[in-house]
């Protein structure tokens, strides 16, 4: 997700009046916040990353790693940054712990604190980042769903279903848009099987192109596909009636 934020979404940070980025719920150790700061410094040297955790002990562990542009504090979805409006808020593996009826309120709370043109990223991944999905949410509503898979770590793209964000995971059932999308990915992946002899990347590229050619609103292109990513417009996967 970091390379996506520093790649096709980098313009959001470059044009931000206040280049503030929040890593919300970074976990027991602050690795993700440290890595995020390191990567976004290449996009904008004056970026500021604040890691926010609800557990005071986790904040205390992270404090010794503070440096110019990177700090840690206690808090939650209210984003305690003294009235500043962040350009980006990233929350990975946070909302998956909530009930389905609760995620919408969290989206609204965070989006209400974003700067104009800001972005909230609600994502989920496995323990070592081989399978990840995230929804890009703007104040006007969700924009897209991204899937990122490590080549060689899956047999079918739909295996990422267990890592869908809370807004979608319970809707991966027949008749729902996200279910149709994952099945379409699997079919395109199977159709591209003859290219497996040239490596997983070539097969993935062919799958993504097939999805695009079939009319799915794919928002990215080969430069992202070759990394094992594919991003589709939210309208293609939006559950009904939630945020549909």
Cα separations in angstroms, 36 against 6, 20, 23, 28, 225: 9, 12, 8, 16, 22
Q: How far apart are CA 16 and CA 188, in angstroms?
A: 38
- The secondary element (H helix, E strand) that includes residue 23 is strand 20-24
Q: pLDDT at position 243, please? A: 45
Q: How far apart are CA 110 and CA 213, in angstroms?
A: 35
* Per-residue tokens: 195: 């290219």
Could you tell me which residues are beta bridge partners of residue 141? 138
Q: pLDDT at position 213, please? A: 98
pTM: 0.94
120-141 residues labelled b (16+ CB within 10 A) or e (exposed):
bbbbbbeeeebbbbbbbbebee
Residues with Cβ within 8 Å of residue 64, at least 6 apart in sequence:
none
pLDDT in tens, the chain (244 residues): 999 999 999 999 999 999 999 999 999 999 999 999 999 999 999 999 999 999 999 999 999 999 999 999 999 999 999 999 999 999 999 998 888 888 999 999 999 999 999 999 999 999 888 999 999 999 999 999 999 999 999 999 999 999 999 999 999 999 999 999 999 999 999 999 999 999 999 999 999 999 999 999 999 999 999 999 999 999 999 997 644 4
């Amino acid at each position: 997700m970091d390379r996506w934020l520093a790649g096709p979404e980098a313009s959001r940070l470059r044009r931000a009046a206040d280049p503030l980025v929040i890593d919300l719920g970074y976990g027991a150790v602050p690795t993700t916040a440290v890595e995020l700061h390191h990567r976004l410094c290449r996009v904008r040297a004056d970026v500021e990353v604040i890691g926010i955790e609800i557990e005071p002990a986790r904040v205390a562990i992270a404090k010794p790693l503070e440096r110019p542009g990177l700090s840690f504090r206690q808090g939650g979805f209210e984003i305690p940054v003294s009235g500043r409006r962040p350009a980006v808020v990233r929350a990975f593996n946070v909302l998956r712990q909530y009930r389905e009826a609760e995620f919408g309120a969290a989206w609204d709370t965070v989006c209400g604190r974003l700067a104009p043109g800001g972005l909230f990223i609600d994502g989920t991944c496995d323990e070592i980042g081989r399978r990840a999905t995230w929804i890009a949410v703007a104040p006007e509503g969700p924009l897209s769903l991204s899937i990122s898979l490590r080549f060689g770590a899956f047999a079918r793209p739909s295996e990422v279903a267990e890592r869908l964000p809370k807004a979608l995971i319970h809707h991966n059932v027949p008749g729902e848009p996200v279910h149709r999308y994952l099945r379409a990915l699997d079919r395109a992946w199977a159709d591209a099987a003859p290219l497996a002899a040239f490596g997983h990347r070539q097969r993935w590229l062919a799958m993504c192109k097939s999805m695009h050619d079939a009319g799915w609103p794919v928002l990215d292109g080969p430069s992202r596909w070759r990394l094992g990513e594919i991003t589709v417009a939210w309208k293609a996967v939006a559950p009904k009636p939630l945020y549909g």
